[in-house]
Structure 1
Amino acid sequence: MNIVIITGLSGSGKSTSLKAFEDIGYLSIDNFPIRLLLQFLEEVKESLEDKNIALVMDIRDKYFLKEYPEVFKSLKEKGYNFEILFLDARNDVIITRFNQTRRIHPLMKGKIKSLEEAIEKERELLGDLKEIANSIIDTSNFNVHQLRNEIFRLYKEREAHKNLILHFIGFGYKYGIPYEASFLFDVRFLPNPYFIPSLKPLSGKDKEVIDYLLNFSETLKFIEYLESFLEWLIPFYCKENRKYLTIGIGCTGGRHRSPAIIEILSQRLEEKYSDIEIVKTYRDIEKDVSHL
């Protein structure tokens, strides 16, 4: 019985995610009370032995923040296979979503009168929980369909996933950093293929761009250093049962250098690791293509 506890900020997409889990075949329950969790699992573990469960648990339950550390500790002691999926989003995105749905933030009561203040307070309250989450998804750039697809990609065939999913995100700094990344690396110091007329229309996924960058010693050194760092880091993530490690690699526009570095690095890591799955996202690779 695999258990996914969905939590995170109000307005970050927990309801959409839960519906996606339900479509996959999970038993899905919203706003589940923390005080009933152990009792519920004990009651259903025989009948749902081969069933996956997704539960949304958050600050709507007044006991959640105070009691989740002890309850989660008890789950581990009893041998339950569970993970914490934390959903996040930028403040401006959450404000827009609340305005569109005309819903009231659960913390907007008492002394907290503004939506922005409520979001900041919730972010502060959930800080420790985010630190122990197995997976973090920043939904700022997702619509409901994209978030659903992301949940499908991560969980639909979870039994086929290996010990760790290593997710590379290529991005352009001019479009903002990916906040879901655990680590960010800036490759704007590398020679820019954008200024080579024959390479400008291509992307970092093309062999010509990759070969161009590999001609420079700084590229080779950077790949060597980053590969060595990941080889040191990955075993710690596996030891802590972390399912998802996100690495952001950024250049100016996210089209040439960052995708090329990801292509080179992922190929080298795939040759070394058989027990991890490598996922590549090129967030900004198709932006501003009209100017190329």
Structure 2
Amino acid sequence: MKFVVITGLSGAGKSQAMKSMEDLGFYCVDNLPPSLIPKFAELCFHAKGDIEKIALVIDIRGGRFFDDLFESLDTIERMGYLYEVLFLEASDEVLIKRFKETRRNHPLSPEGRIIDGIEAERERLAQLKGKAKHIIDTSNLTSAQLREEIRKIYLEGLKAENLTISILTFGFKKGLPLDADLVFDVRFLPNPHYIDALRDYTGHEPAVREYVMQWPESIAFVEKLKDMIHFLIPYYIKEGKTQLVIAIGCTGGKHRSVTVANILYESLLEKGHRVTINHRDSVRTVRE
């Protein structure tokens, strides 16, 4: 029996994760009081094969009942039922933006500042995060990309490292992304913006990509960038890092950064890494 506890920060995408698990054939229960987990696990086990995959969403909405979670998990371990924890998180900036867009208050700070609730929740969930088998940072993931991550883990049985690489393109004139681990400035490359026939297109278009990559400095930089990232990844994994955000910027975030990011994305996919890509300031956003 596959038993998964979905948890994490409010606003990080647990509801979407549960829907994705349902699509994969999991029997899902949202906000079950943790004290009932052992009894629920026993009922499922005795269902004689009718329920093979279970996912429970457990988070701080349970209030004081949430404190029973660790005792309940210890109990089902003693009962011989194996489980794993899927933990979802996101950056403070992204979580604040999501709460404001939905006009919701944070459950741990209903009358106060959202950031206070986020900080309190991070502290309260720190121990549970430490038990997680899979951690997904949804800061730069679309709903479709989160579904794909869930599918890779629980349908394909992904054997790769527990590291998600997020590539983000941006324009310096609109500001640096706040959650980037590595930032690369490609404004030194020849700019298609000054070519009339290319100005209105993006790095997704073959003509723009061909223009950017026809220069020796572009070819050399991309090769050195790929070498550096491939060199760093094993060390980040060894360190225990679960999310790596690589930001690539040019002036407008439309031509050079998109071209270079797409090439890096393709290279990482070929190596079998878990990687997503988002183009913050490009007119066209590709659904990967």
TM-score, normalising length from structure 2?
Answer: 0.68
8 Å Cα contact 2:226/2:267 also seen in 1 = no
Give the 5 Å matches for 1:106-255: 106-108=107-109, 113-116=111-114, 117-126=116-125, 134-138=135-139, 147=143, 149-156=144-151, 158-160=154-156, 162-164=158-160, 166-173=165-172, 174=174, 177=177, 179=179, 183-191=181-189, 192-214=191-213, 215-217=215-217, 220-221=220-221, 223-234=223-234, 237=237, 246-255=245-254
8 Å Cα contact 1:227/1:269 also seen in 2 = no
8 Å Cα contact 2:17/2:147 also seen in 1 = no
2: CA distance, partners of 1:252 / 1:45? 57
C-alpha distance 24-241 of structure 1, shift in aligned 2 (>3 A):
farther
What SS does the aligned partner of 1:160 have?
Answer: coil
2: CA distance, partners of 1:41 / 1:238? 34
1:86 Cα offset (Å): 0.7
2: CA distance, partners of 1:208 / 1:45? 58
2: CA distance, partners of 1:263 / 1:159? 26
1: CA distance, partners of 2:72 / 2:239? 21
Equivalence for 1:56 = 57
2: CA distance, partners of 1:279 / 1:114? 34
Establish whether residue 268 from structure 1 lines up as the match of residue 264 from structure 2. no
Q: Which of 278, 282, 285 is residue 279 of structure 2 equivalent to?
A: 282
C-alpha distance 80-237 of structure 1, shift in aligned 2 (>3 A):
farther
2: CA distance, partners of 1:227 / 1:37? 47
**Gaps in structure 1 of 5+ consecutive residues:** none
1: CA distance, partners of 2:100 / 2:112? 10
8 Å Cα contact 1:171/1:178 also seen in 2 = no
Q: Which of 85, 88, 109 is residue 87 of structure 2 equivalent to?
A: 85
2: CA distance, partners of 1:36 / 1:7? 16
What SS does the aligned partner of 1:268 have?
Answer: helix
RMSD (Å) for aligned C-alpha atoms: 4.4
What SS does the aligned partner of 1:198 have?
Answer: coil
Give the 5 Å matches for 1:2-41: 2-37=2-37, 40-41=40-41
1:128 Cα offset (Å): 5.9
1:94 Cα offset (Å): 0.8
1:84 Cα offset (Å): 1.6
Cα offsets for 1:150-188 (capped at 9, x unmatched):
443333464336434644333445276274x6x332324
AA matched with 1:160:
E
C-alpha distance 20-42 of structure 1, shift in aligned 2 (>3 A):
same
AA matched with 1:85:
F
1:27 Cα offset (Å): 1.1
Aligned residues: 270
AA matched with 1:106:
P
TM-score, normalising length from structure 1?
Answer: 0.68
8 Å Cα contact 2:265/2:275 also seen in 1 = yes
1:48 Cα offset (Å): 5.4
8 Å Cα contact 2:35/2:65 also seen in 1 = yes
